[in-house]
A and B are shown apart, each in its own frame.
Chain A
Amino acid sequence: MTGDRIKQYLSHGKRFDARLPDEFRDIVIETNVSNKAEGSVRVKLGKTEVVVGIKMNVSEPYPDSPNKGNLMVTAELLPLSSPRFESGPPKFEAIELGRLVDRVVRESKLIDVEKLCIKEGEKVWTIFIDVYSINDDGNLLDAAAIGALAALKNAKMTKYDDKEGKVLFGEVTNQNVPLAKHLPFSITLYKVGDNFLVDPTREEEDVSETKINIGRSAKGIHSMQKGGVAPVSPEEFKKGLEMSEKVYNDILKKVEKYLK
């Protein structure tokens, strides 16, 4: 019922909350929400809310990248945040969320991983980005990616004792995480009926059959993944790409003031 109505509205370019199909909800970012984390933020996207924290540790590099630090993104869909989520081992939705955010950050080369090398082949930093949902009213994905970016900007490197070769947990330096200047966001297009919309509420997300997740910055597109069963025609795809570019600027305008 609701689904049909949402589709009907959207075919006239309208949504229940009076937004345009390519319009994001208001974004609010609070920083330092958890003081034991090296960086932490709370992102509110309308009623959707996520908390993202940064921790780091020193470990051995991967053999194929001896001079590069590591990145690990995990996401948990807390049962607290929605009646749909249950406790237990992570289900596909949580794994997908973590992996998509990972790729938005990784593929855009946001983190200068070579600067995370302490000793080539032996010691490099691993940056953990942990995402938790606090309230799910749709589009956790894009909120999580904004959170990851904001948390990285907010983070300070942990102190490392070079002589002892030990990480001094709980002691932070005044050094930022080495980041590139561009700002990658995740923009997920949800196909509802024959039209795309962005930043769906829970109701809208539920009636969507296909989504296309796009990681992009001012430099261009860095990552993409289609999810869901409904196919997308080349014309629709082209329209979607143009839409994502516009949406990128919309998000940028809404979060810029928080990312200075």
Chain B
Amino acid sequence: MKLQEESQGMTIQVLIIISIKMTKDFKRPDGRKVEELRPIKAKVGVVPNADGSAMFQFGDTIAIAAVYGPKEHHPRNQRDPEKGTLRCNYNMLSFSVTDRIRPGPSRRSTEISKITQWALEPVLMVEQFSNMVIDVHIDIIQADASTRCAGINAAALALAHAGIPMRNLVSSVSIGKLDKQLVVDVSKYEEDWEEGEGATDIPISMTPDGEMTHIQLDGMINNEELIEAVKLARKATKQIYEIQKKALKEAIN
């Protein structure tokens, strides 16, 4: 312990050097650069029944989202006279992953549903539809990690497509730490990284102004690295925002 404290100063220096070096040489399994997103596709209007809908794809991860509302909120006792309610519902199709998952809600999907609501609500002008509810349904058609991020991106697009008053869009990306290397937009292969310190997964959602509406983290990371991760997320979400904006414009034309 004592030895560690003494050498800490030096360790950080060494780390910085190593991390600069690694950034240049680090090879990602799919050949991407560390800050490179997977190919993105975004499209709105994929579910004709819905008031607004969108598909968002990061590489092999495909999410679709549909918005119904604002509409009457049932049961009545859940109505909020001050503001509208946003209800999100995240669901993975049973065959979207290698081992079939049992259809229907799970503890994981319940949590992600809530996280998604928290990520999106800050940009919605909920004060404009008091006593009403907006339902956002997100389904993962094909999963290759970062499904919640793809879901949030699709949901933000679907809300905008539904014409719901919003202050801004939300864009989401997962930053990963593979051993000591930070990377943008984690794939499944990278999520299961076992070498060195293993994988740390940090999904982050931001508005184009850089306000963070959502962050989660699983793994192990230090302060400096985490701050760096948020910076990377800022850059990546800006790129995603541009793609989202383009998808919305295409829908109008």
Q: Which residues of A contact B (CB under 8 A)?
A: 33-38, 40, 47, 51, 53-55, 57, 74, 76, 78-83, 87, 89-90, 128, 130, 132, 134-137, 169-170
B93 near A80 with CB under 8 A, answer no
The size of the chain B interface, using a CB distance under 8 A, is 33
Q: Mark B122-152, 1 if CB is under 8 A from A, else 0.
A: 0000000000000101110111100000000
How many angstroms from the CA of A55 to the CA of B92 in the assembled complex?
A: 14
CB closest chain-A residue, reference B97? A36
Asked if A128 meets B89 with Cβ closer than 8 Å, knowing A47-B48, A76-B104, the reply is no
Q: Which residues of B contact A (CB under 8 A)?
A: 47-50, 53, 60, 62, 64-66, 68, 71, 89, 91, 93-100, 103-105, 135, 137-139, 141-144
Among candidates B47, B93, B98, B138, residue contacting A130 with C-beta atoms closer than 8 Å? B93
Q: For residue A132, which residues in chain B have a CB less than 8 angstroms away from its CB?
A: 93, 139
Among candidates B50, B94, B141, residue contacting A55 with C-beta atoms closer than 8 Å? B94
A87 near B103 with CB under 8 A, answer no
CB closest chain-B residue, reference A38? B95
B100 near A57 with CB under 8 A, answer yes
Q: For residue A136, which residues in chain B have a CB less than 8 angstroms away from its CB?
A: 49
Among candidates A47, A74, A80, residue contacting B65 with C-beta atoms closer than 8 Å? A80
How many angstroms from the CA of A179 to the CA of B6 in the assembled complex?
A: 70
B66 near A80 with CB under 8 A, answer yes
Q: For residue A78, which residues in chain B have a CB less than 8 angstroms away from its CB?
A: 91, 137, 139
Q: Is the contact region of chain A dominated by helix, strand, or loop, or is it mixed? A: mixed
Beyond A36-B98, A80-B50, A90-B104: 5 further Cβ-contacts under 8 Å?
A35-B60, A79-B137, A80-B65, A87-B137, A134-B47
A76 near B103 with CB under 8 A, answer yes
How many angstroms from the CA of A30 to the CA of B208 in the assembled complex?
A: 35
CB closest chain-A residue, reference B113? A87
- A-B contacts, 5 of them at CB < 8 A, read A34-B142, A35-B142, A57-B100, A80-B138, A130-B94
CB closest chain-B residue, reference A83? B68
How many angstroms from the CA of A35 to the CA of B140 in the assembled complex?
A: 12
How many angstroms from the CA of A74 to the CA of B66 in the assembled complex?
A: 22
B47 near A36 with CB under 8 A, answer no
A40 near B49 with CB under 8 A, answer no
Among candidates B49, B93, B138, B143, residue contacting A82 with C-beta atoms closer than 8 Å? B49
CB closest chain-B residue, reference A57? B100
Q: For residue B68, which residues in chain A have a CB less than 8 angstroms away from its CB?
A: 79, 83
Among candidates A34, A87, A90, A135, residue contacting B89 with C-beta atoms closer than 8 Å? A87
Q: Within the complex, what minimum Cβ distance (angstroms) separates A21 from chain B?
A: 24
A81 near B104 with CB under 8 A, answer no
